[in-house]
Amino acid sequence: MSAPNSLALAVAQLNPTVGDIAGNAEKARRARAQAASQGADLVVFPELFIAGYPPEDLVLKPAFQAACGAAVEQLARETADGGPAMLIGTPWLDDGKLYNAVALLDGGRIAALRFKVDLPNYGVFDEKRVFATGPMPGPVNFRGVRLGVPICEDIWGEEVVECLAETGAEMLLVPNGSPYWRQKGDVRLNIAVARVMEHSLPAIYVNQVGGQDELVFDGVSFGLQADCSLAFQLPAFQETLAVTHWTRKGARWHCEQGPMVAVAEADHADYAACVLGLRDYVNKNGFSGVVLGLSGGIDSALCAAMAVDALGAARVRCVMLPYKFTAQESLDDAAACAKALGVQYDIMPIAEAVKGLESALAPAFAGKPRDVTEENLQARARGTILMALSNKFGLMVVTTGNKSEMSVGYATLYGDMNGGFNPVKDLYKTEVFRLARLRNSWRPEGALGPAGIVIPENILLRPPTAELRENQKDEDSLPPYAVLDAILERLVEREEPIAAIAEAGFDRETVLRVERMLNLAEYKRRQAAPGVKVTLKNFGRDRRYPITNRFRDPGTPLPAPDVSLVSGKPVKTEAFDF
């Protein structure tokens, strides 16, 4: 059979569900049928599509492995109809080893298998825990065209693509499960450009979309011509199937036709990620809707807006839980926010609940002055009421604490930390304000909430307060959020030493205080609800610190290592940041 001079390649940027093997296979069937109607020759799916990504230790279950294999074999049989072939990601057991694999399904059979070589084991990834390293691959022969299939991380280094180029690959098809965080799209594109530039091979980068626990996958699949120019680009945070048309020009393939969609960036992308993460967590776990405490503050207002954008107003219930320290201003602002969003809104005073708790504790607390304990009883009364509504009505509690609060422990366990999922968990307080202002001027594509101002202006202007005591303000207990967030970003995302942060212009005592609070709050964070990852390093999947931990940064410049104590290879003598 002579090699073809044209190919119609369908990019299936889809949203699988981890563990829903039958559902993912059916989604693949529908995509293939749609691609067939548009004349596609091959449909390319994301990494581990049959299993859903990341499957974590679920993929170690023999029954799960067998079910994935059976689903792939059935899909392979269905390609005997002469329609498009499928390049689909799946776990694959071979000679007692489990691989992160891609299967080429064509002509009623599994025509080829390729295994992932470079298994990521950093940040949110721990694939070496569950998969074996595959052998260096050669291209697969698809109807006379030699296709290189590096899987996700395989293009982040040079070796796999170099091997494919040297063994005759004509283009690269790259299945991915690449999660979102800020500026990740630029990083991916630069990596892909580097591989294309090295070998002048065009590339199709296929990424999944959707939320999986704390991770959100943004899609933004794209193609690169052999000269590194952008051939096509798919939208962010949306399922899409697009057929791209390629022709052979001399020794090179060239994309003649494909969509070019502008993608959401910066704050717009962060907001969209939070909405998609919340939507998929609620829907994929079978909740009928959500309930949250609407306090009149910025965090709960933004979470309410995100919930309505994700699920629609009919599936969101907001509850004001006032106590004697709740200002009329808070009552008015919460009511105005609920009205703007069109949600069910209830007012449930907590005075009797707090009184009952204090009465029960009175004998034990006799002679003790009132302190933060009584403040926390208010938060825990609210948490109990919200959890009761969750139990009674099958609604998931949305918890609303931001990253600033989670960092320094400015939150109450079993109180305002109660909940099933937190869409703003990885947003600092200053970012919460910024996204709230953005939402008032912009309605995201696909959002189910109303356009216009949905967060009252007064909420954006009021100083943040927990309202657990008279005239309380957050900055009574914390540095100003602009300062706090800047210090935390350096401590958490950058892992900078205290001395370096102080040298950058921050008050050393303030930095020491923030670092101490950050360390002490680890036990609280370990018990916090999951939430959407939007920064480079979130609490949970990225930053995994021990709870029991006596190390403290002394806040002074670190000494240079003593090379006289080191045997073997010479050690550089400049100071290191350990």
Q: What is d(CA 224, CA 238) in angstroms, rounded to the nearest whole number?
A: 20
Q: What angle do CA 416, 418, 420 make, to 5 degrees?
A: 135
Q: What is d(CA 144, CA 1) in angstroms, rounded to the nearest whole number?
A: 7
Tokens of 299: 């965090």
Q: What is d(CA 21, CA 47) in angstroms, rounded to the nearest whole number?
A: 14
CB 400 within 8 A of CB 436: no
Q: Which CATH number fits domain 268-467: 3.90.420.10, 3.40.50.620, 3.40.50.2000, 3.40.50.300?
A: 3.40.50.620
- Which runs of E-coded beta strand occur in 149-249? 171-176, 203-207, 209-212, 215-218, 222-224, 230-233, 240-249
Q: What is the pLDDT of residue 559?
A: 65
Mean pLDDT of 509-538: 91
Residue 571: Cβ-neighbour burial (10 angstroms; 0-12, 13-18, 19+): middle
Mean pLDDT of 227-250: 95
Across the chain, what does the average pLDDT equal? 91
Examine domains 6-263 and 268-467 and report if their fold is the same.
no
CB 111 within 8 A of CB 104: yes
Q: What is the pLDDT of residue 576?
A: 26
32 pLDDT more than 50:
yes
116 given a catalytic annotation: yes
pTM, two decimal places: 0.91
Helices (H), 209-297: 266-284
* Residue from 238, 178, 230 nearest 12 by CA: 238
State the architecture of 6-263 in CATH terms. 4-Layer Sandwich (3.60)
Q: Where are the chain's structural domains?
A: 6-263, 268-467
3-class secondary-structure state, position 90: strand
Q: What angle do CA 191, 192, 193 make, to 5 degrees?
A: 90
64 pLDDT more than 60:
yes
* Residue from 238, 318, 311 nearest 279 by CA: 311
Mean pLDDT of 295-306: 96
Of the residues 27, 68, 116, 153, only one is catalytic, namely 116
Q: What is the pLDDT of residue 464?
A: 81
26 given a catalytic annotation: no
575 pLDDT more than 60:
no
CB 455 within 8 A of CB 335: no
Q: What is the pLDDT of residue 3?
A: 79
Q: What is the pLDDT of residue 577?
A: 28
183 pLDDT more than 90:
no
Give the Cβ contact number of residue 438 at 10 Å. Answer: 16
Give the residue carrying structure tokens 């030699």.
Answer: 146
Mean pLDDT of 61-82: 96
Q: What is the 3-state secondary structure (H, E, C) of 367-386?
A: CCCCCHHHHHHHHHHHHHHH
Buried b (16+ CB within 10 A) or exposed e, 402-416: bbbbbbbbbbbbebb
Q: What is d(CA 310, CA 449) in angstroms, rounded to the nearest whole number?
A: 8
Residue 277: Cβ-neighbour burial (10 angstroms; 0-12, 13-18, 19+): buried
Tokens of 503: 């040298």
- Residue 237 amino acid letter: F
503 given a catalytic annotation: no
Sheet containing 203-207: give its strands across: 140-142, 145-148, 171-176, 203-207, 222-224, 230-233
pLDDT per position as a tens digit, 79-131: 999 999 999 999 999 999 999 999 999 999 999 999 999 898 887 888 889 99
Q: What is the pLDDT of residue 569?
A: 42
Of the residues 27, 68, 127, 152, only one is catalytic, namely 152
Mean pLDDT of 295-310: 96
Residue 565 pLDDT level (bands cut at 50, 70, 90): low
Q: What is the 3-state secondary structure (H, E, C) of 434-479?
A: HHHHHHHHCCCCCCCCCCCCCCCHHHHHCCCCCCCCCCCCHHHCCC
Which is more confidently placed, 575 or 328? 328
Concatenate the DSSP letters of all residues of 532-576 into one string: ---SSS-BTTTB---SS------SSPPPPP-GGG--SS----S--
Give the residue carrying structure tokens 């957050």.
Answer: 474
Residue 1 pLDDT level (bands cut at 50, 70, 90): low
Q: What is the pLDDT of residue 573?
A: 32
Of the residues 47, 127, 170, 431, only one is catalytic, namely 47
CB 13 within 8 A of CB 250: no
563 pLDDT more than 60:
no
pLDDT per position as a tens digit, 129-165: 999 999 999 999 999 999 999 999 999 999 999 999 9
Residue 113 DSSP class: E
Which is more confidently placed, 560 or 494? 494
Q: What is d(CA 540, CA 407) in angstroms, rounded to the nearest whole number?
A: 12
3-class secondary-structure state, position 156: coil
Buried b (16+ CB within 10 A) or exposed e, 498-530: bbebbeeebeeebbbbbbebbbebbebbeebbb
Highest mean pLDDT among 68-82, 179-193, 245-259, 511-525: 68-82
Residue 570 pLDDT level (bands cut at 50, 70, 90): very low
